[in-house]
Amino acid sequence: MRTPELIPTSTGLPRWRNLPAPAKLNLFLHVVGRRPDGMHELQSIFVMIDWADYLDIEVRSDGRIERIDDASEQPLALPADDLCVRAAKRLQEHSGVTMGATIRLEKNLPAEAGMGGGSSDAATCLMALNRLWGCQLSPSELCEIGATLGADIPFFIRGQDAWVEGVGDVITPIELPEMSFFVVKPLQGVSTPAIFKAPNLNRATPRIAIKHGLTVDEGEQVMFGHNDLQPVAEALCPAIGQALESLRAQGLEPRMTGSGSAVFAMLKNGDATPYVALPHGALSRKCKKIRNHPLVDWESSKNVG
Q: Is the peptide bond before 261 cis (omega within 30 degrees of 0)?
A: yes
**59-63, 73-77, 95-99, 162-166: lowest mean pLDDT where?**
73-77
pLDDT for 277 equals: 84
CA atoms within 13 A on the CB side of 54: 16
Query: What is the arithmetic mean of pLDDT over 24-46?
Result: 96
Per-residue model confidence (pLDDT) at position 123: 98
Average pLDDT score over the chain? 90
Give yes or no: 297 in active site: no
At residue 247, the 3 state secondary structure works out as helix
Question: What is the model's pLDDT at position 294?
Answer: 94
List the domain range (segments joined by +) for residue 246.
1-305
- Residue 150 in this model has a pLDDT that exceeds 80: yes
Phi-psi region of 210 (alpha: psi -120 to 50; beta: other; left: phi over 0): beta
Asked if 152 is an active-site residue, the reply is yes
The structural domain count of the chain equals 1
Q: What is the pLDDT of residues 202-261, one digit of tens each?
A: 999 999 987 655 554 443 467 789 999 999 999 999 999 999 999 999 899 999 999 999
**Catalytic-labelled residue, pool 53, 152, 161, 228:** 152
What would the pLDDT profile of 111-140 be if each residue is shown by its tens digit?
A: 999 999 999 999 999 999 999 999 999 999
What local confidence, expressed as pLDDT, does residue 75 receive? 47
* Cβ count near 211 (within 10 Å): 9
Give the integer Cα–Cα distance in Å for 87 and 107. Answer: 17
Catalytic hit among 24, 107, 185, 289: 24
Whether the CB-CB separation of 63 and 40 falls below 8 Å is answered with no
Higher-confidence position of 302 and 91:
91
The pTM for the full model equals: 0.92
- Which of 130, 137, 155, 195 is closest to 44 using CA atoms? 155
Distance CA(256)–CA(89), nearest Å, equals 33
Taking the CB of residue 184, how many other CB atoms lie within 10 A of it? 25
CATH code for position 155: 3.30.230.10
